[in-house]
Amino acid sequence: MAIKNQVLDMTPLGMKFTVLQASADTGGKSLDLYWELLPKCNMTEPLVHTHPNAIETYEVLEGDMEFFIKDKWLSAKKGDKITVEKGIAHSFRNPTEKIVTVLNTHQPALKMEYYFEDACTILDKITNDRKEKFKMNMKARIYMSVLMGKYRNDIIAKNPPDFAIKILGFIGKLMKITY
């Protein structure tokens, strides 16, 4: 369970989140995060996804970035606020050479803090405790698919397609993948 000021370090993916308010702090109403998106974050394979049971909001605090909403990329700059309603396909990326900071909220929190914590654990496993560079190879795809299967109430992939995530997640279970 995440706690206030906890850093969820996903540097191999180009991002780092700091918990401003965990689910326990808000009675489950929200999970509030401060993001740092490193230069070129998510430029090759951004995870386009939906949150079937939560609204996600973003406020760009510093820098310029891009959001994929429904079916197109939109530019955002300092001061811009984006709200993504339940079930809407979305993603994000930092195409610039500068760090971008963002205030991010999931309402309600559901289990997203656990999802992020588990993603950090998986990153440690597939990058040998961050000693290797992250590569979206088959091992990473299987681990991430097992993760996505565990949190289907919170996050569902659209690209890569959900059916592929389900198949790779099943393979991961057969392989007894744990994290």
Same domain, 99 and 15: yes
Per the structure, the complete domain to which residue 124 belongs is given by 112-174
Whether the per-residue pLDDT at 153 is higher than 70: the answer is yes
Domain tally, the chain: 2
pTM for the structure as a whole: 0.93
Whether the per-residue pLDDT at 145 is higher than 70: the answer is yes
pLDDT at 148: 95
Closest CA to 94 of 102, 105, 104: 102
Same domain, 142 and 120: yes
Q: What is the pLDDT of residues 87-133, one digit of tens each?
A: 999 999 999 999 999 999 999 999 999 999 999 999 988 888 777 77
Residue 15 backbone class (left: φ over 0; alpha: ψ -120 to 50; beta: rest): beta
The answer as to whether 2 is a domain residue is no
Q: What is the pLDDT of residues 4-49, one digit of tens each?
A: 999 999 988 889 999 999 999 999 999 999 999 999 987 667 789 9
Same domain, 97 and 134: no
For the residues 159-163, what does the mean pLDDT come to? 93
Same domain, 14 and 97: yes
Same domain, 27 and 101: yes
The answer as to whether 12 is a domain residue is yes
For position 97, which CATH number holds? Answer: 2.60.120.10
The owner of tokens 């706690």 is 3
Token pair belonging to 122: 């998986």
